[in-house]
Structure 1
Amino acid sequence: MPKQEFEVLDYCGPLVVGFLFCIALFVISFFIINFFCITKYDDITKFEVFGGKHNIRLGPHSLVVVRKGGFISTEEQSENE
């Protein structure tokens, strides 16, 4: 059997697969986990902190809550007073 000869395009396959994996991981973490698995009572995510700096809502918390630094429950408010 003769030896296989690879072209430059054949060597780009692992790079393309790695790039597609990164894109799929980002889409799953941003759209599914960030919007459906995180409630408004959870901590602020890094996506929301980044969006808060640029005045964009990127999660379940409102921009006011993100700028304050997190959710403040009524129990914490009564303890501080």
Structure 2
Amino acid sequence: MNSHDWGVCKCEVKSDNVPFEDGQSFDLRISVLDSEYQVMVSGQHCYSFAYRLLPGSVKMVQVWRGVSLTSMCV
């Protein structure tokens, strides 16, 4: 997990908890809470990520590395 502000990437946050499996579909939900994002994968809490930018200033979510996005709701 990371953030990018004014052309600069911040320090990446990594986790050993990787709930994804090659070739398997999953449901990813990112909740905006009082001071952090909460990430749920297929109904299970996996990560919390403290705000580095105000949530209203976030302009994009990037999906990469072989993930096929089939739908997105905001």
TM-score band, normalised by shorter chain? under 0.3
Tell me which of the two structures has the higher relative contact order, counting C-alpha pairs closer than 8 angstroms and 6 or more residues apart.
1
Greater CA radius of gyration, 1 or 2?
A: 1
Give TM-score scaled by structure 2 length.
Answer: 0.21
